[in-house]
Structures are given as C-alpha cells and as structure tokens.
Amino acid sequence: MEVLGIKKEKIELLIEQDDSLTKVRASTLIEGKEYVGKGMARRKKTDPVIPQIGYELALSRALLALGNAIGESAQMKVQKYLPKSKP
C-alpha cells in the first residue's frame, strides 16, 4: 500500500466543570472548515462526587458528536459523486 501523505490534526477541548455539571466542547479545523461536537454530564444529588466520571462521560460524548459531524460532512461529499438513480 502506497502512503499518500501524513496529516496531523489538532482537536481543541474546552471543559467547564463544577460539582454537578460538566460540559465539553470539542472542535477541529479541517481544510478551513470548523467541526464541533458538544457533550454534557450531570451528577444526580444522590450520586457520589467523583468529577472524573463526569469529565469522561462529557468528553466521550463531545468526541462522538465531533466524529459524527465530520462523518456527516464526508457522507455529503460522497453523495456528490454517486450516480443519480433513475425514477
């Protein structure tokens, strides 16, 4: 398999967290277009205070949303090259 090149992309994470709520915004810039995914986790009053759990849940949700946004963009580009179906 021939390697066409290597790209290195960066993902920026903005994390807001307090005792009961964690919000994460994940974003990246690919060929001039910004993609964003957001995730949130909320602790119930009866749950123990373990900030790492909220952080991991919110982070994973933001990264999944970011991946979905990039995937949807790629799928729309693919659709341009598919042959049109006849009715």
Q: Which two tokens mark 22? A: 């964690």
Residue pLDDT, tens place only, 26-50: 999 999 999 999 999 999 999 999 9
Q: With pLDDT > 70 as the criterion, what percentage of the chain qualifies?
A: 99
The CATH code of domain 12-81 reads 3.30.160.240
Residue 84 pLDDT grade (very low, low, confident, very high; cuts 50, 70, 90): confident
Which tokens sit at 76? 């729309």
Position 42 scores a pLDDT of 96
Which H/E stretch holds residue 66?
Answer: helix 51-81
Distance CA 3, CA 73 (A): 24
Q: Where are the domains of the chain?
A: 12-81
